[in-house]
């Protein structure tokens, strides 16, 4: 079974631009979560989607948004990029939603904002 | 609200020595607890998880962790370190029940260095 696939692997943008990151979960997995990882703040939860519905959202500004498609693939969008948005964005999938579910992580998209 | 504290941002051991990575959690409801490992330029890989079935949890690569409710701890151990264990380790908590679903709250991470 293929793992969680995130594209692109690396991305360089400038302040004010917007960016869209993509995540394809493991086949059969219906829940997708997104996390931001930075040296200063560590790993922080962005949001979780299940069956095309956002089930949970972290404490991030409205510039961060996401969606999930009927095939469970997910995208996250960041508008009006700021320097502080530079981070590794990790996507994780699980078969269902649930607190005890283990998450399978992709290798991430490294976003650099100049 | 849930939180995780990992004591020691860097731990250094010799090959063959005991590995002990410390994690304390705070949760208002019974927690699910996890340890993940991250190798350079990779995502996170699950080592083990505690979901109330047994307090001593065995994971992959010889790691295990013990849930101690009285100490609100979930420390990760391995009897004998191997060079390939060098990585960053994250403790995480998820609250059973409620509406947190799959949301994980992570600790700040501990970088493990293994010396020959």
CB contact under 8 A, B43 and A90: yes
Tracing tokens 């579910």 back to the chain, one arrives at A101
Contact between residue A80 and residue A63 where contact means Cβ atoms under 8 Å apart: yes
Contacts of A55 in chain B (CB under 8 A): 99, 101-102
Give B3's contacts (C-beta < 8 A, 6+ positions apart). Answer: B25, B26, B27, B93, B105
* Distance between B44 CA and the closest CA of chain A, angstroms: 6
Which stretches of chain B drop beneath a pLDDT of 70? 96-102
Contact between residue B94 and residue A97 where contact means Cβ atoms under 8 Å apart: no
Contact between residue A85 and residue A72 where contact means Cβ atoms under 8 Å apart: no
Per-residue tens of pLDDT for chain A, all 114 residues: 789 999 999 999 999 999 999 999 999 999 999 999 999 899 999 999 999 999 889 999 999 999 999 999 999 999 999 999 999 999 999 887 766 778 899 999 999 999
CB contact under 8 A, B102 and A4: no
Contacts of B5 in chain A (CB under 8 A): none
Tracing tokens 């993940």 back to the chain, one arrives at B36
The reported pLDDT for the residue numbered B109 is 97
């Amino acid at each position: 079974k293929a793992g969680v696939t995130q594209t692109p692997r690396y991305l360089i943008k400038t302040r004010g631009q917007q960016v869209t990151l993509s995540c394809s979960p493991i086949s059969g997995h219906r829940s997708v979560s997104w996390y931001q990882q930075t040296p200063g703040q560590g790993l922080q939860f962005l949001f979780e989607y299940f069956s095309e519905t956002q089930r949970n959202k972290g404490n991030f500004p409205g510039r961060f948004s996401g969606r999930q498609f009927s095939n469970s693939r997910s995208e996250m969008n960041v508008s009006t990029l700021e320097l502080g948005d530079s981070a590794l964005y990790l996507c994780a999938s699980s078969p269902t939603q649930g607190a005890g579910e283990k998450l399978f992580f992709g290798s991430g998209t490294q976003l650099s904002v100049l | 609200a849930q939180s995780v504290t990992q004591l020691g941002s860097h731990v250094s051991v010799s090959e063959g020595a005991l590995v002990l990575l410390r994690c304390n959690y705070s949760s208002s409801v019974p927690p699910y607890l996890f340890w993940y490992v991250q190798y350079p330029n990779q995502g996170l890989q699950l080592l083990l998880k505690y979901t109330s079935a047994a307090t001593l949890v065995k994971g992959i690569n010889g790691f295990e962790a013990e849930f101690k409710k009285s100490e609100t701890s979930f420390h990760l151990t391995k009897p004998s370190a191997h060079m390939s264990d060098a990585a960053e380790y994250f403790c995480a908590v998820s609250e059973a029940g409620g509406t947190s679903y799959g949301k994980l709250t992570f600790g700040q991470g501990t970088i493990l260095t293994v010396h020959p």
